[in-house]
Structure 1
Amino acid sequence: MDLTDFRALLIDCDDVLVDRDSGIWTAVQPLLQNSGGRFDRERVLAEYRQAVVGLAPRQAELGFGGLLCFAHRRLAERLGLSASWEEGMSFARSVAAWSLFEDAPGAMLYLRKFYRLLVYGDRDAEDREALCERLGIDAEDLLSRAGNPLEDTVWLSANHLRPQDVLQISRAPAEPLGAGGLCLIDRGATGTERNCPADFCVSSMADLVAQHQMFLRR
C-alpha cells in the first residue's frame, strides 16, 4: 500500500491540524490562577479528556460549544475548584483562538494538489467559516464527527468515492473508521522509536508530506 493509492484524506481537525491541547491549557488558566500551581499541564489535560469522554453521549443535545462549557465545569469539579457558567462559556468560545500546528498550513497547501482534503471535526456554526478559511477547505469538506463518512453510502456516492479511496489521518492512538487506510501521527515519536500499528505512521504533517514525496520518487 502506497500513499499515492488514495484519492482523499480524512484528517482529524483537533490534535492533527489544530493544537487543541495548547488551546485548552491556555483557556483554563483563569480557572487555575488561584490554585497555587498545584496542577501541571499533563494532569489538567488528562482530567479534561476524561470530562469530555463522559459528556460525549450528550454532544448531539449540547452542541459543540455546550459540550466544552460543561466539560469546563466538570474539569473544575474534578480538580476541586469552582467555576461559574460565565467562565465556562468564555472557555467554550476560546476554541476560535486555538492555533494550528506550525506545519499544518503548508502541508494542507501541498496535499491538496494530490488529494481531496476532508477535515473531520466539530465546530459551532459561527466558527466553521473561519476554520475552513484557515485550513483552505470548502465548508462542505468540514465533516462532523457525529457521523462516519466511510460508512455513509449516500455521501460516498455523491462524492464519487469508495471507502478504500480514503486515508484517515488521526492522532495516535486511534482506530480506523472503515475500510480505508489509516495514518497515525505521533508528534512525540522518532523514526527509531516508532512502533507503527497502522498502514502509515508519521511524526507530523510535515513528515507526511516528506513521505508522500518519497513515494512519488519510487
Structure 2
Amino acid sequence: MELTDYRALLIDCDEVLFDRNSGIWTALQPMLQSYPDTLSREEVLADYDEVIRGLNPLFSKLGFSGLQCFAHRQLAERLGLETTWEEDMRFARSVSDWSLYEDAPGAMLYLRKFYRLLIYGDRDNADREAFCERLGITSEDFLSPTSQPLEDRAWLLANDLEPKDVLLVCGSAELSSAGGLCLIQRGCGEPRSTSPADFYIDSMADLVTQHQQSLRR
C-alpha cells in the first residue's frame, strides 16, 4: 500500500512526537549530581527503562505519574542514592516539560490535511486536557495503548474506520498493528532490514516528504 491509501495515523506520542529520552535525562540531572562517578546518558536511560518495565504491571494502580515517581526512587536506590518523595514527584511532573521534536508541529499541521490524526500514549486524566491542547487534538483522539483501538470493533464502527485504514507510526518494531506499520528510527543505527514494517522513516519531516512523493505517483 501507499501512504495515500490510509485514512488515519495512529501516532506514538512519546517515541515520535515528544523527545522522551531527552526529557527524562534532563529531569534526572538533580539526582545524578550526587553520584560520585560519571554515567553516560545511554547507561542511565537503559537502567531507567529496565526499572519502568519492572513497574509496568502496577500501571493500573499507580497511573502514569505514579509510575514515574516510583521509577525515580528505584533508580536512585540502584545507584546507591537517597531521594525524597518531593524530588520523586518533581521528576514525575516533569513530563509536562518534555519538548516536541522540532519537526513534529509542522508535520502534524501538514498531515492533518490528509489524515485523521490519532495519538496514543499514557497520561493521567488530570494532564490530558493540557496535553491535547499542546498537540492540537481533541480528547477523543488521544488514546491509551491499553485500549487497543484497532481491535475494538465498536470503536472502529463508531469512527467509521477499518484496521486497514489506519497506519501505526511508532518507534518500536515490537509493537504490532492490525493495520499498517510505519517505523520511525530517529538516529537509530539498527539495520532496517531486520525491522518488519511497511514504511521506514527517519523523522516526521521525512514522513511528510514520503507522503508528498506518494501524491505524485
Task: Give the aligned partner of residue 147 of structure 1.
Answer: 147
Any gaps of 5 or more consecutive residues in structure 2?
Answer: none
The question of 1:213 aligning with 2:212 is answered yes
| Aligned equivalents of 2:13, 2:123: Cα separation in 1 | 10
Paired-residue identity, %: 65
Deviates more, 1:125-134 or 1:96-105: 125-134
- Which structure has more helix as a fraction of its residues? 2
Counterpart mapping for 1:112-131 below 5 A: 112-131=112-131
TM-score (norm 2): 0.95
Task: Give the aligned partner of residue 159 of structure 1.
Answer: 159
Deviation of 1:83 after TM superposition, in Å, equals 1.5
Secondary structure, aligned partner of 1:188? coil
Task: Give the aligned partner of residue 38 of structure 1.
Answer: 38
Counterpart mapping for 1:129-208 below 5 A: 129-177=129-177, 179-189=178-188, 194-195=192-193, 196-208=195-207
What do you get for the CA RMSD once the two structures are aligned? 1.4
Counterpart residue identity of residue 200, structure 1: F
Counterpart residue identity of residue 80, structure 1: G
| Aligned equivalents of 2:117, 2:210: Cα separation in 1 | 17
**What CA deviation, in whole Å up to 9, does each residue of 1:49-104 have, x standing for no partner?**
11111111110111111011011111112222221211111100001111000000
Secondary structure, aligned partner of 1:122? coil
**What CA deviation, in whole Å up to 9, does each residue of 1:115-143 have, x standing for no partner?**
01000101122321222122111111010
Runs of 4+ in 1 over 6 A off after TM superposition: none
Whether the 8 Å contact between 2:10 and 2:167 is mirrored in structure 1 is yes
Task: Give the aligned partner of residue 21 of structure 1.
Answer: 21
Deviation of 1:189 after TM superposition, in Å, equals 4.6
Counterpart residue identity of residue 72, structure 2: H
In structure 2, relative to structure 1, the CA distance for the partners of 1:103 and 1:46 (3 Å cut) is same
TM-score (norm 1): 0.94
Deviation of 1:37 after TM superposition, in Å, equals 4.3
Counterpart residue identity of residue 213, structure 2: M
Any gaps of 5 or more consecutive residues in structure 1?
Answer: none
Whether the 8 Å contact between 1:129 and 1:139 is mirrored in structure 2 is yes
Task: Give the aligned partner of residue 76 of structure 2.
Answer: 76
Whether the 8 Å contact between 1:174 and 1:184 is mirrored in structure 2 is no
Deviates more, 1:153-162 or 1:74-83: 74-83
Deviates more, 1:56-65 or 1:37-46: 37-46
